[in-house]
Structure 1
Amino acid sequence: MADANWAKGTIIEEEEDEKRLSENHAIEKLRFGLANHIHYYKVKKTKNTVVEQRSGRRRLYDHNLILRSIFRNKLIHKTYGSLGNLFEGAVFIDFGSAILYEEGAVTVRDLYEDQLLIGHLSKLVATDINDTSFDHTRYIEIHMNEREPFPFSFNEIPVLIDDPEFIRILTRVYAKNEFTPLIFRSTNSGPDLFYTVEEMKEHFSSILEANPNRNILYFFNRFIFFRSVCSDRFQLIGTIDERIGVNHSFSAWRYVDWDKRGFEDAFHPNLRYVRMVEESRLALGDRMDAYFMNQSCNFGRGLRFYGNKFKKSITKS
């Protein structure tokens, strides 16, 4: 569980944005995440597994388009500059990757096979639960015993991801250091569909508490959240096109011409925080302001982190 101080506070910088998240989450929970829904997903067969594992190639390909543009420095934060600079070399962790559907973790494979994107990520991590309710929902065990290894990293997660220590350990396993940026995703998965609003907020709070020294990007349902190391709260920087990736009525992503679809089709920016413009078009002064702001925050976080480590070593000795 997250620290009580975090749980009492807000997780999103703007109150209206947090209200929007909570209201959308409550609706998603009511439509898709009640106990009877979850039981149905666990027992209803589909293809080579059950509905709980259902996914689809390119279902979340809008995320690919958005990340490509980010790493081309085409999404600019009004305070912190190019998000591409902030997330170069990030660890990408996908919560609930449907590891048994078709060839397994198909939306993570879409990221792995994207040559315009994968070179910008230091690690790509698929995850899933190991539900012992039924033999066929022991997803981790089935994968380990019956499937070929993934070409990317893979980790088991609990049903409820609300423990900062678990998240801290998970990220440290894959991150190069304490300051490596993180990209999380929970889209059509447990945290964004099955959690209660309170559990969802605990989940967000735990991520914040576990990673104070990292820039964080979180694709959560149709929302995209950003947390700078300069802040202790997320900002809602935009949404994806909800007609495609989070469409539960029919498989809309199968009918998209992905060769013609662009960043502007996939992403709806929150203009309070970001602009869809190339970094090269920014004034030099604006770029320098963002650079020094980020450097100052990183220096402060680093000083605090290593200072605390030094104090602990002195105490132990």
Structure 2
Amino acid sequence: MEQKVLIIGSGPAGCTAALYCARFGLEPLMFLGRQEGGQLSITTDVENYPGFIDGVLGPDLMSNMIKQAQRFGTKTIARDIKKICVDKRPFAVIDDTDEKHSAQSIIITTGAQAKWLGLESEKRYLGFGVSSCATCDGFFFKDQDVIVVGGGNTAVEEALYLNGLVRSVTLIHRRNTLRAEKIMQERLFREKKVRILWNSVLKEVIGDGKSVTGARIADVTSGDEREINVQGIFIAIGHSPNTSLVKGQINCDSEGYILTKANSTQTNIPGVFAAGDVQDKIFRQAVTAAGTGCMAAIEAEKFLSS
């Protein structure tokens, strides 16, 4: 059966796009993926999403978003897409059961994933002191001691943001120079609450079984290790957009993020739109993802009407 709109991904961008498309009467089909709700479905407390005075659990927020979209007529399938063909309309996608679906328009909201160090302890305390987003979680560590791991723009931005909230920030970097822009480095070096451990790596996240209590740091030149007491650890070594599905067909930048026209979610393929973290490498917030999901739905409706 040919769909008017097919949405790939079910995070805030996908769910908002589905909600608006459904209310437009477009009867969208949304592929939830194997991780329904995207990154927020594995997040604990979300306190910066508008409308929730006392915050909300990430899985609850996404469950409600999906149900709201379904209430207005969105059809959902808990499958991933493994192939997409957008060289002609109707567009075709093949899911992970090898079933083929066609649509007059597609909204891609596959998101991005934070890069991790791969430590077992890092995974164990994810959401309980370990985070990849200072803007999202920094408030939880007000007047506490935290670590930021990384040496690029993202790490320096995170450290500067946290500096205004926490008691102290320790930046852990495996080299003896930062990769961040010079002007950002200068700002960082001026901050008295920030210290940098050069030529160092995070070897282990230490905790009491409930939350982070410290970190074991190793010097890459001498091999010496030491433990420091901290309550929060922010991994800031970059993100990877989930765009392997579209490479070679839809224009992406050098980092793999889908390129969209200015003030639009339209890709280089008419009728194919991208919203959320898959095309936003700057803000990466649930509320901004939802906003671009709304934009994509409105643009898809106008495209189909014309």
- Which TM-score applies when normalising by structure 1? 0.25
Instruction: Choose 1 or 2 for highest CA Rg.
Output: 2
Q: Which has the higher helix share?
A: 1
